[in-house]
Chains A and B, each alone.
Chain A
Amino acid sequence: KAGVTQTPRYLIKTRGQQVTLSCSPISGHRSVSWYQQTPGQGLQFLFEYFSETQRNKGNFPGRFSGRQFSNSRSEMNVSTLELGDSALYLCASSLADPGINEQYFGPGTRLTVT
């Protein structure tokens, strides 16, 4: 069974631009969560989707958004990029309820904003 895949793996953008990151969950998994990992803030929850519905959202500005498609694939978008958005963005999938069902993480997308 293929694991969680994230594309692209690396990305360099300029301040003010926008970016879209993609996550393909493990087949059969319907929940997708996104996390931001930085050296200073650690791992922070962005949002979680299940069956195309956002069930929870972390404390991030509205520039951060996401969506989930009917095949459970998910995308997150960051508009008007800031230097502080440079981070490793991790996607995780689970069968239904993250925690109750084990979360499987992808390798991440490393975003660098210059």
Chain B
Amino acid sequence: AQSVAQPEDQVNVAEGNPLTVKCTYSVSGNPYLFWYVQYPNRGLQFLLKYITGDNLVKGSYGFEAEFNKSQTSFHLKKPSALVSDSALYFCAVLMDSSYKLIFGSGTRLLVRP
């Protein structure tokens, strides 16, 4: 069965420092991978996706993610964190030909001033 795992419930980082939010996946076939962010009392906002091509994907708000096939990972990164990046982050995988997104459990990012 296809799934994604976000091993960290919360990530704490100081403003200005680099951040990484981890995601690993388990899929059969080629994975379509996504990152979404959710701010309090809001719906999810799309950050970036990997379908094919370059392993480093650049997205919104200065975020990027690196697809690593051998480690089955798709970690979200940002070189310099902002306090306003504090939010809930979800990794997701699209099940082949199913039109169904499977989400990870979410990681709360807290950026302290």
Residues on A facing B (Cβ under 8 Å): 4, 31, 33, 35, 42-45, 48, 50, 55-56, 58, 90, 92, 97-100, 102-108
User: Can you list 7 A-B contacts (CB < 8 A)?
Assistant: A42-B104, A42-B106, A43-B90, A45-B102, A56-B98, A105-B44, A106-B43
Other-chain residue from A42, A50, A103 in contact with B46 (beta carbon distance below 8 A): A103
Tell me if A99 and B106 are in contact (CB < 8 A). Answer: no
* Min C-beta distance of B46 to chain A, whole Å: 5
Do most interface residues of chain B lie in helix, strand or loop, or is the interface mixed?
Answer: strand
Chain A at the B interface: SS class: strand
Per a CB cutoff under 8 Å, which of A50, A55, A103 touches B101? A103
Inter-subunit contact B90/A50 (CB<8 Å): no
Per-residue interface assignment for chain B, residues 96 to 109, with 1 indicating a CB less than 8 Å from any chain A CB and 0 otherwise: 00111111111000
State which residues 50-99 of B face A: CB under 8 Å: 51, 90, 94, 98-99
On whether the beta carbons of A98 and B46 are closer than 8 Å, the reply is no
B29 to chain A, nearest CB (A): 13
Query: Which residue in A43, A99, A108 is a CB contact (below 8 Å) of B99?
Result: A99
Residue B28 at the A interface, CB < 8 A?
Answer: no
B104 CB contacts on chain A under 8 angstroms: 42
Q: Which residue of A lies closest to B104 (CB)?
A: A42
Residues in A with CB closer than 8 Å to B103 are 35, 42-44
* Chain B residues with CB under 8 A of A100: 32, 51, 94
A90 CA / B46 CA spacing, docked (Å): 14
Our pick among B43, B45, B46, B99 for the contact of A97 (Cβ within 8 Å) is B99
Complex Cα distance, B44 from A36, in Å, reads 12
Residues of chain A with a CB closer than 8 A to B34's CB = 99
Tell me the complex Cα distance, A35–B46, Å.
Answer: 15
Q: Which residues does chain A contribute within 8 Å of B42, judged by CB atoms? A: 107
- Interface pair B51/A98, CB less than 8 Å apart: no
CA distance A35 to B43 in the complex (A): 11
| One of B44, B94, B100 near A90 (C-beta < 8 A) | B44
Q: Which 3 A-B pairs have the closest CB atoms?
A: A105-B43, A99-B94, A43-B103
